[in-house]
Every structure is written in structure tokens, then in C-alpha cells.
Amino acid sequence: MIKALGYFSELIRGSIITTRHFVVNMYFHTLKLFRIKAQRKGAVTTQYPEERVEIAHRHRSLHRLMKREDGKPRCVVCMLCATVCPSECIYVEAAEDPDPEVQKYPSTFTIDLTRCCFCGFCVEACPEDAIRMDTNEVEIAEYSREDLIYDLDKLTR
């Protein structure tokens, strides 16, 4: 009984907190409704498709393959990224390049984004700086899984 009365005061304290949030936020919502400038918005959330938060500089977004000056991919098929990838979602196949300085170029390079966990290890591993995750593209959803398997054309775009 005594314990219950102790809880009762806590109940009142809790409801005072939520009521304070309600009243303060309603005050700012009302100010906005009448187009009066206020020091903050009524909500802390961002209305996503219309408003966007700026993506941080080091955010790991969709991959891209870098190119040489002549437009060929920089990748030399050392397989380091495919080896380090924890999700095993990179598949690279080599072909011989006529240039003796280059020797190998990727004939296929696919990243299965349905499995990728965006850890960024592939970027860290690459000795040629051939793969980067700086496109700032984060809306990668598709209607079918096949569309999420990115091949060489899509990656060098």
C-alpha cells in the first residue's frame, strides 16, 4: 500500500514530463502554423523525401569503380577486395591486357548488393584505389533482386 503510493508520485512525475513535451512542441507547431518565426521546430524529425539531411563526408554509400585517363577501369584484378569481403559478394574475372604495364583488367566485376553489408573493407584493401564508396547514393532499393547485382557497366558509370 505504502509502496503503491510511492509509485503514484512517480506516475505523476512521468506524466508531467510527457505533458511538458506536448505543450512545448504544440507551442512551436502553433507558431509555425501562424508563420511566426520561432527558435526551433516543433519536431526534431526530418520529413525525408522532401527534406534531406546532408550525407557525412566519410559516409560509405554505393560503390563505384575508378577509371584510368583512357577510360579503362583502374582495377588490376589482384582479388584483394574479393578476398577481404566478409559477405563474399564481389566476383572478379581477369582478362589479359595488351599493355605490359597493366597486364590484367577485369572482364567481369560484379558486386551483389543484396549481400553487401557496406563495411568498406573492399575500399581499404584495394592497392590501386580502384574502388571507392563515395557516390553519396543511398537509395539503392529495387523491385527485383537481379537489379541489385551491379556489373562492370553499372559500377563504372
Partner 1 sequence: MIDILIVLIKIVFAMMWFLILALYLTWAERKESAVMQDRIGANRANIWKFRAIGLFQPFADAIKMFFKEDFTPVFSKRFIHNLAPFLSFFFVLVTIAVIPFGDVLRLGEREIKLQVLDINVGLLFILAMLSMSIYGVILSGWASNSRWTLLGGLRGAAQLVSYEVALGLSLIGLIMVFPSLTLSNLVHFQGELLFGWLPKWGIILQPLGFIIFLFAAVAESERVPFDLPEGESEIIGFYTEYSGLKWGLYMFTDFMKVLIVACLLTTLFFGGWQVPWLYADGFHFPWGGQWLLPHGIVVAFQVLAFNLKVFFFCWFQILVRWTYPRFRYDQLMDLGWKVLIPLSLLNIVATAILMSL
List of residues contacting ligand SF4 (CB under 6 A)? 75-81, 85-87, 89-90, 92, 111, 116-122, 125-126, 128, 130-131
141 binds partner 1 (CB under 8 A): no
**From CA 60, how far away is CA 119, in angstroms rounded?**
8
With CB cut-offs between 5 and 8 Å by kind, which of partner 1, ligand SF4, none does residue 38 bind?
A: none
Residue 30 to residues 14, 38, 142, Cα–Cα distance (Å): 24, 10, 39
Q: Which of 6, 9, 18, 51 binds partner 1 (CB under 8 A)?
A: 18
With CB cut-offs between 5 and 8 Å by kind, which of partner 1, ligand SF4, none does residue 89 bind?
A: ligand SF4
Element spanning 28, H or E: helix 2-33
> Residue 134 has which C-alpha cell?
563515395
- The 41-80 contact track toward partner 1, x by CB under 8 A, reads -xxxx-x---------------------------------
Tell me how far, at minimum, the Cβ of 27 lies from partner 1, in Å: 10
Residue 6 phi/psi, 5° resolution?
A: -60, -45
Tell me how far, at minimum, the Cβ of 138 lies from partner 1, in Å: 20
Return all residues near 104 (Cβ < 8 A) that are at least 6 apart. Answer: 76, 77, 94, 95, 96, 97
Across the beta sheet with 90-96, what order do the strands follow?
90-96, 104-112, 149-150
With CB cut-offs between 5 and 8 Å by kind, which of ligand SF4, partner 1, none does residue 45 bind?
A: partner 1
DSSP 54: P
Contact residues: partner 1, CB under 8 A: 1, 4, 11, 14-15, 17-19, 21-22, 25-26, 29, 42-45, 47
